[in-house]
Structure 1
């Protein structure tokens, strides 16, 4: 949560309130503050006067000559297991962000994709302050509520109701020679299992299967001080906790104590039409007649050098005073380093839209010979960390100042096994059009280019950008098959979309990789300009918001700048891994390519020295891709578009997906899913693996039917049907059920036999309908009318079964044989009819 830094006076008030609640504190304050002005009392609190100096040891008795000293914003003295922090009085009252991570992990403690080097195990802001009886308090700060104007009565009220917790207390061991710093003995505290420097939440330890710390097998490896941070490295051994895989666990933990900027960065207020991560707080000043949630975009602080300010104002490109630098983990395989670096450097062009050149770059981490003091754990450094893991993923989190949203550093995690995921994606989506993808091991150039695109995507997250799932939906599907257009403009306007690769392109289109890969594109450059353009002449963030709001409103006339959240539950434009403005067309093209690939999969995956497990895994990926295409279409049925807009923009916020598009989506489901997709039952593959097509098909078809009867979807359909504000034709539940009947029971309308696979489909459908008519759990009243529709519909289906059986019997009597309906079909219909009748007798007699 977020709050602007509170003044020292505010913290004095918090201390006074705490003191007032304890008699001893009240006596101490009365004695010490008698006859002093408020300014003198404040000076005693924040400047660290020594009221009982005679009780303290001399500096030379505590800090001896045989100690090692590291100088930073806190001076660290150490000898063996003794660690002393020399904290300047000027640091008291300043905000310190403590970020804790796994530095070296145990393979036995991993839980899913958690438990690897670099994983965060704690983050909070603290502040040292002078306390009574020669003690120093460490307070944990909360930024959930805020009132920034200390001249207003509201400020005092907010502070009175937000006393900050004392997280730890440290006796002062000594003062330095000129009384400008206090010395604290930190050895025992740092070696303890404290929740400030290590696991801040018990659940994180439980997730790793850890119990209590074993002190005889735990120690501090080192504590290093830097100008704006202190790094603590501890070796910890824990007993086995919940779900253990061993008797104990040993890990290395790193705690970064980062001095937050004294000069706050100007925050930038969120605009929901531009996708940035945010931090927020309750602001009691923003709304004079209520409480507002003030939300800031998360961004790096980019400003021109003082000598370049006027050049920047004239529109000249200048280098920032402090560029964004990512170091490449030295353990990264050398052949992938150039591609990871290029993924970072590709963002340079986006920052030029914001007026900065060379604003971001990647560098190889210096070797120990080049710089013995350099460390990946140093919180001043951002890095791409290479992880030897089976996890097929990459991620780009950042650490930011909770007061303003300013990004301070980032560690991008690159998991080794992400390359297997890239291979599967590109093989299944592009092998039909790229001959280089038709193999089990890609050449280094192709894999390197795929790594580059993922690197760019993750860097985008570290710059503050969220996923933009709506971006690809702005591109006409036929443009994705236009070689000249797609190679020039790309298949999606944003690399922050989950668009992956251009699976719409067909072999005859002859599209090169330039039209298949994602790239940093129009939306990304525009979003970086919104977030990073420096406007020093604007009074404050509120005046800046007025200007930016007008700019965004005007810019969005360009549809390629549309943003759609990955959290959007209903809008079919906001989907993962979809392409184009028409899901039916795009998915049809995608399935056409899958049909080409599956025919050659045995050939393209052939490895004479191996078994068929790799082929089986790729086939599973193909099935999943097919399901993804179907899911993209399914999302268009019974849903609505959500247009994020402000009041001055034309149009409406919510509108149902057009009727014709929903009908086309149902026709696609009939054609590609309910009509048995025999092409998935590829003999050359199935005869060499234990998987069975019939079982896989049941899973696919059941997933579609369950998806169609999703409560959120059905409620939206019913709301649209009865909403008098809708003047357009809407697709109703009743019509959807009629379309499903015509598709799933097509043979009965035609008087034909039903195949084995189709009989399974009909059973799935009937079972789901009965589940909806007679739910096992209570439902809200809003669903009662929907259930009534199912009840009567199920009765109609039963009538259909009976009619089909009667008609078949009449034909049998007339011709002594029924050429159209076999025995299995008749038994199947009798079974379903009996099931409906038996279930109905419990509630309603048909």
Structure 2
């Protein structure tokens, strides 16, 4: 009994800390205790309530020294906004309102940036006893109006009461309720949610300081109330935030926009998974006849003929890039015109003396946001009505570092934190792990990476970060830097030249168009880059009429022509066919009286999904790694050929770099930066090759779609063999990496050591052997990964008997012949250190498979054992015939490998190490 009592106490304690405190940030971060905020602010609120309790004041007495402002609510405010009173009319109770929260000042890092959205809350104000409750109503479960089942839903699913505000007074005639709005935005429950997710953003504990927190602005308008609050934070412990003069304290300003949800003529539009929109979904309990209980609306604006959607260009955007920003926005008018809404988007310039703030919910603004170390190039968030999916407000953030970064600044793939000395936040860790995984595609390289993922498993903000481009700044840097490097090394283009400026302008135009697409409701389309052949990509007459890509909602590499071929546009200059089609589905005016009545016409639009130029695949399709055409930072309808072109580009750049030295007076560190830029680009393209082995095409077609096919189609055996041949030539071959000692001895790191710049403390010299082995190791382990081996085995069952298929024995034999060519052919010479390292890695991978250290098909275990035995025989034969003529390196390497293989072959098998756990028995 005592033990049960202790357990019960622990459970109750946990619930008291994590569940009972009310909270409501729609960013959906994990619930964390709000003790710090409560301790720092509660004494202020309690002191005010205690003082007023001594001498209750009437309605007129409370507002006597305030200034009245009519608007969405009647607002009464004292001088300097020390107190804000809201008068809640009886008809405003139990009505839906929206609170939109935006950072109006930041610290320049950790996602705490000026203009960054925090979230939005659908809320109601309810009069309960002597208080006004700030309530987030339950909207995920619904039924038809008047349905008796509504009572069950009300009792079965709880609303969320975030605040319970004291009624200061009730007007004797109007019966309106007076509440202190200061307690809403400065109260202990932290409406903004900053105290909840600061630990994730900064990896340190900060709390609100009440003596440096206050309301800076309050403005009332007919349809919205705008309040801005500045919060002073203190704490951090031993944290070091380089963007701050002192990491122990900083300020954040949060802009709150309160407005009623529109109740006009908007008609929700039902979603179709063949067309990629962000969704608003709910579970419908009112219709039990449907197999799928969910109702899904796409997120879109209520654009009506003659009432354009207006985007403002913030007055902080440099003058020389405003035209590119405007053109990127207006690019979408082509799609709206074809959907029957000409001139649906309008662009205006924010005046320098504007009397409004970009955070005002009435304005959709493209903003220029400054950061110390950018985590994204652009982000296009929008705020929607959670009942209907109607988009109500959107702002686009462009990082102010974008131009400098486009011209060649980047962060390396290997040792991204080398010398930085900065402790990463959990969100930075998540983004790093995500980017590494986009390279590694499930390749197991270290337990550390898995540990990082485990810390963030189930973190709801993670998917939002991926959807909204937040995690891909470093990868954009790498991709864009290679374009600038190619211009510099191959074409001798200077950073200040017109050609480099054209490169920058094209990217900004494409970036803005991509982010505007998000604000229109569109998700990523990572299948969009496959529209044109490699040759067509370099023809501006085609790319500027049909489009360079099927969709600007893809991430595309700079379009770089191979050596000796003319250069076309670097980035898309117009929308793709998919973009036009998606806008038609989402925005074409349809003559119907309900969402269901639109379905017939919508399905006619959606059934075009099987047309090749409308191919669609989004984040979850990319993450699976099944279809090599659904990928990021690739190009052309033949990505395999295009990747080989980029290997040739990289080798040409290395060749130019090999003949280059810094000019007198320049640092050698630029040589290292340029070398790494090319290496990372080479790495990215190399990682695309294994996707073809065991790969399948995947589509979202529905049965009966014209020209539609089955969802899965195995890639041709010719493509898979071509990928293996390219891997052998560009990755496994020692001839692919031939650098002169003169070049390698110039790769010096920067030695600046001061705030914002930290020298490498380790690996001062360039670790060329380790980096080349990393590239080869990742590709090899990807080729022989458990997922790929399982897919290859399955493809034998999924391929018609009349068709040829790449089988597991062929894969093992091809890889072994590629890596051990010298031994297998019998024409062995002394092996280089690069070759020996790759061969050792190969034996390690096959040994792990043979010893059942990884979970692979049983046939793969047998084949690994078989190929090791074959290799042992071939090494024996080579040593007998050629051993005396080999240098000590090579002879020792072969003898050691032979001994290692013998031990593996003789080792007992432990089958239990790969057996799957049995499911738990039913109780």
Q: TM-score, normalised by structure 1?
A: 0.83
On the 8 A contact 2:559/2:568 being kept in 1, the answer is no
Instruction: Tell me the secondary structure at the aligned position of residue 803 of structure 2.
Output: coil
Q: Say whether 1:586 aligns with 2:642.
A: yes
On the 8 A contact 1:430/1:501 being kept in 2, the answer is no
Instruction: Tell me the secondary structure at the aligned position of residue 741 of structure 1.
Output: helix
Q: 1:523 aligns with which of 578, 587, 593?
A: 578
Q: Assess, with a 3 A threshold, how the Cα gap between structure 1 residues 431 and 492 changes in structure 2: closer, same or farther.
A: farther
On the 8 A contact 2:714/2:799 being kept in 1, the answer is no
Match of 2:262 in 1: 261
CA distance in 2, matches of 1:415, 1:602: 34
Match of 2:134 in 1: 138
Larger Rg: 1
Q: Say whether 1:335 aligns with 2:311.
A: no
1:664-703 equivalences in 2 (<5 Å): 664-678=722-736, 681=739, 685-689=743-747, 690-703=765-778
Q: What is the CA deviation profile of residues 553-588 of structure 1, one whole-angstrom value per residue up to 9, with x for unaligned ones?
A: 1x3453111112132111111011111222321112
CA distance in 1, matches of 2:685, 2:888: 36
Match of 2:365 in 1: 383
Offset at residue 647 of structure 1 (A): 1.9
Q: Assess, with a 3 A threshold, how the Cα gap between structure 1 residues 143 and 726 changes in structure 2: closer, same or farther.
A: farther
Match of 1:157 in 2: 152
Match of 2:274 in 1: 273
Q: Assess, with a 3 A threshold, how the Cα gap between structure 1 residues 341 and 479 changes in structure 2: closer, same or farther.
A: closer
Q: Say whether 1:710 aligns with 2:785.
A: yes
Q: Assess, with a 3 A threshold, how the Cα gap between structure 1 residues 416 and 203 changes in structure 2: closer, same or farther.
A: closer
CA distance in 2, matches of 1:699, 1:708: 14
Q: What is the CA deviation profile of residues 493-541 of structure 1, one whole-angstrom value per residue up to 9, with x for unaligned ones?
A: 22112123322x345443443x754532222122112111111x22321
Q: Assess, with a 3 A threshold, how the Cα gap between structure 1 residues 197 and 507 changes in structure 2: closer, same or farther.
A: closer
Is the deviation greater in 481-490 or in 217-226?
481-490
Match of 1:50 in 2: none
On the 8 A contact 1:397/1:412 being kept in 2, the answer is yes
Offset at residue 697 of structure 1 (A): 1.2
Q: Say whether 1:116 aligns with 2:99.
A: no
Q: Assess, with a 3 A threshold, how the Cα gap between structure 1 residues 460 and 700 changes in structure 2: closer, same or farther.
A: same
On the 8 A contact 2:195/2:206 being kept in 1, the answer is no
Q: 2:482 aligns with which of 421, 428, 433?
A: 428
Q: Assess, with a 3 A threshold, how the Cα gap between structure 1 residues 621 and 203 changes in structure 2: closer, same or farther.
A: same
On the 8 A contact 1:720/1:726 being kept in 2, the answer is no
Q: Say whether 1:129 aligns with 2:126.
A: yes
Q: Assess, with a 3 A threshold, how the Cα gap between structure 1 residues 508 and 202 changes in structure 2: closer, same or farther.
A: closer
Q: Assess, with a 3 A threshold, how the Cα gap between structure 1 residues 337 and 479 changes in structure 2: closer, same or farther.
A: closer
Match of 1:416 in 2: 400
CA distance in 2, matches of 1:202, 1:482: 48
Instruction: Tell me the secondary structure at the aligned position of residue 472 of structure 1.
Output: helix
Q: Assess, with a 3 A threshold, how the Cα gap between structure 1 residues 178 and 248 changes in structure 2: closer, same or farther.
A: same
On the 8 A contact 1:494/1:519 being kept in 2, the answer is no
Q: 1:765 aligns with which of 829, 842, 851?
A: 842
Q: Assess, with a 3 A threshold, how the Cα gap between structure 1 residues 144 and 170 changes in structure 2: closer, same or farther.
A: same
Is the deviation greater in 401-410 or in 424-433?
424-433
Offset at residue 218 of structure 1 (A): 1.6
On the 8 A contact 1:211/1:239 being kept in 2, the answer is yes
Offset at residue 473 of structure 1 (A): 1.9
Match of 2:337 in 1: 352
Q: Say whether 1:663 aligns with 2:721.
A: yes
On the 8 A contact 1:605/1:614 being kept in 2, the answer is no
Instruction: Tell me the secondary structure at the aligned position of residue 843 of structure 1.
Output: coil
CA distance in 2, matches of 1:367, 1:420: 25
Offset at residue 700 of structure 1 (A): 0.9
CA distance in 2, matches of 1:796, 1:62: 92
Q: What is the CA deviation profile of residues 319-347 of structure 1, one whole-angstrom value per residue up to 9, with x for unaligned ones?
A: 2x2x2222222222222222222211222
Match of 1:201 in 2: 196
Q: Say whether 1:610 aligns with 2:639.
A: no
Offset at residue 677 of structure 1 (A): 4.3
Q: Assess, with a 3 A threshold, how the Cα gap between structure 1 residues 608 and 259 changes in structure 2: closer, same or farther.
A: farther
Q: What is the CA deviation profile of residues 361-388 of structure 1, one whole-angstrom value per residue up to 9, with x for unaligned ones?
A: 22221233xx43x111211111122122
Is the deviation greater in 282-291 or in 220-229?
282-291
On the 8 A contact 1:394/1:412 being kept in 2, the answer is yes
Q: 2:216 aligns with which of 185, 196, 221?
A: 221
On the 8 A contact 2:117/2:381 being kept in 1, the answer is no
Match of 1:393 in 2: 377
Q: Say whether 1:105 aligns with 2:106.
A: yes
CA distance in 2, matches of 1:145, 1:194: 26
Is the deviation greater in 196-205 or in 280-289?
196-205
On the 8 A contact 2:616/2:699 being kept in 1, the answer is no
On the 8 A contact 1:467/1:566 being kept in 2, the answer is yes
Q: Say whether 1:68 aligns with 2:67.
A: yes
Q: 1:774 aligns with which of 822, 838, 851?
A: 851
Offset at residue 844 of structure 1 (A): 5.2
Offset at residue 253 of structure 1 (A): 2.0
Q: TM-score, normalised by structure 2?
A: 0.76
On the 8 A contact 2:195/2:207 being kept in 1, the answer is no
Match of 2:469 in 1: none
Instruction: Tell me the secondary structure at the aligned position of residue 102 of structure 2.
Output: strand
- The structure with higher relative contact order (CA 8 Å, sep 6+) is 2
Match of 1:563 in 2: 616
On the 8 A contact 1:100/1:199 being kept in 2, the answer is no
On the 8 A contact 1:104/1:116 being kept in 2, the answer is yes
CA distance in 2, matches of 1:829, 1:296: 63
Match of 1:21 in 2: none
Unaligned stretches of 5+ residues in structure 2: 1-54, 241-246, 409-478, 748-764, 911-923
Q: Assess, with a 3 A threshold, how the Cα gap between structure 1 residues 410 and 516 changes in structure 2: closer, same or farther.
A: closer
CA distance in 2, matches of 1:335, 1:767: 55
Q: Assess, with a 3 A threshold, how the Cα gap between structure 1 residues 397 and 99 changes in structure 2: closer, same or farther.
A: same
CA distance in 1, matches of 2:547, 2:181: 56
On the 8 A contact 1:94/1:127 being kept in 2, the answer is yes
Instruction: Tell me the secondary structure at the aligned position of residue 700 of structure 1.
Output: helix
Offset at residue 78 of structure 1 (A): 1.0
Instruction: Tell me the secondary structure at the aligned position of residue 500 of structure 1.
Output: coil
On the 8 A contact 2:104/2:255 being kept in 1, the answer is yes
Match of 1:12 in 2: none
On the 8 A contact 1:499/1:577 being kept in 2, the answer is yes
